Amino acid sequence: MIKSMTGFGKSEFQNGDATISVEIQAVNNRFFDTLLRMPDFFESYGTELKKILKTELVRGRISVFIKYSKSETESEQVVINESLVKEYLDKIENLRSKLNLDQTISLEHLLELPDAVKIEMSETNINKIFIAIKKTMLNAILDLQKMRLEEGKHLANDIIDRLVKIEDTIQEINNESNQNKNENYQKYCNYLKEICADIDINEDRVIQEAAIISKKMDITEECTRLFSHIQQFRKYLDNSDDIGKKMTFILQEMNREVTTIGSKCESAEISHKVVDVKNELEKIREQAQNIL
């Protein structure tokens, strides 16, 4: 069954008074694009998490929000970036001298500047917590995948209904075109005879030319290819692989065949039905853009 690119997944893990929460939001996008928000402690693991997301979710714009509430007994250490603080001080003193300012800079002010002070965990704690984060994220991905499948069922049902309408309408167009063949052939014969009335021309040649024109107006091949494309599209609906792009390509081919039918047929009724088919194809295209 097809999957939608849209979905939401959430998972939580609790160990004592420490809590990990992971939320994942996915919307449609032509490629894989991810936004990862998590505590600074785990930024070095961002690449690994993105690889997991890419493998599991394949495509879409993915937003991941990871929250960690630490245990009260968890040990941390305060780290002062002395070189950065000194650089801040040198720059400020230099600026104060240029502007002839009397204000003094306290240590308190310096320590409030960005990145001057950091709270760090031990490497052992970070590794242990990251393992829990990864498991929690995988559970959130499973939750999101369930929603993607559910959304995919709704998309598939809507598309199937529209494919039936298209198939029925194309069959009506084909039947009407076949019924009009003899009428069109006779119309072309009469037209050629009329414009060639003052010319000594063999009647067999007129008949031959009328047959050639009628053949050019025949839409049997286009209808046959359309039916084939519809059958192929139905097969994709039973596939859970990444088939959204393939669907888009087939829809382009179907639209091309319908356009050709519209250009060949002179019947007003067929023209109206061609417009109906194009409208249904556009609605399917909009749905296919959200299919994984």
Residue 79 pairs with which residues in a beta bridge? Answer: 118
Residue 225 pairs with which residues in a beta bridge? Answer: none
Confidence of residue 194 (pLDDT cuts 50, 70, 90): low
pTM, whole model, 2 decimals? 0.71
For residue 124, is pLDDT > 70?
Answer: no
Confidence of residue 276 (pLDDT cuts 50, 70, 90): very high
Decide if 119 contacts 126 (C-beta within 8 A): no
Helix (H, G, I), strand (E, B) or coil at 117: strand
Give the C-alpha separation, 187 to 142, whole Å. 64
Backbone angles phi, psi at 79, to 5 degrees: -120, 125
**Weakest-pLDDT range from 29-33, 61-65, 90-94, 143-147:** 90-94
pLDDT of amino acid 15: 79
Confidence of residue 101 (pLDDT cuts 50, 70, 90): confident
39-76 pLDDT, tens digit per residue, is 887 888 999 999 999 999 999 999 999 998 876 555 56
**Weakest-pLDDT range from 14-18, 63-67, 77-81:** 77-81
Confidence of residue 78 (pLDDT cuts 50, 70, 90): low
**Weakest-pLDDT range from 44-53, 99-108, 202-211:** 202-211
Residue 226 CA: distances (Å) to CA of 55, 108, 199, 277, 278: 35, 75, 42, 11, 12
Confidence of residue 85 (pLDDT cuts 50, 70, 90): confident
Give the C-alpha separation, 24 to 66, whole Å. 9
Decide if 64 contacts 49 (C-beta within 8 A): yes
| Cα separation of the two ends of the chain | 11
pLDDT of amino acid 249: 92
DSSP category for residue 4: B
Give the C-alpha separation, 207 to 230, whole Å. 37
pLDDT of amino acid 208: 59
pLDDT of amino acid 129: 86
Angle between helices 220-237 and 244-264 (to 10 degrees): 160
Report the relative pairing of strands 7-15 and 18-27 from DSSP bridges: antiparallel
SS3 readout for 126-172: HHHHHHHHHHHHHHHHHHHHHHHHHHHHHHHHHHHHHHHHHHHHHHH
- 121: left (phi > 0), else alpha (psi -120 to 50), else beta? beta
Q: Which two tokens stand for residue 147?
A: 């929603």
For residue 204, is pLDDT > 90?
Answer: no
For residue 93, is pLDDT > 90?
Answer: no
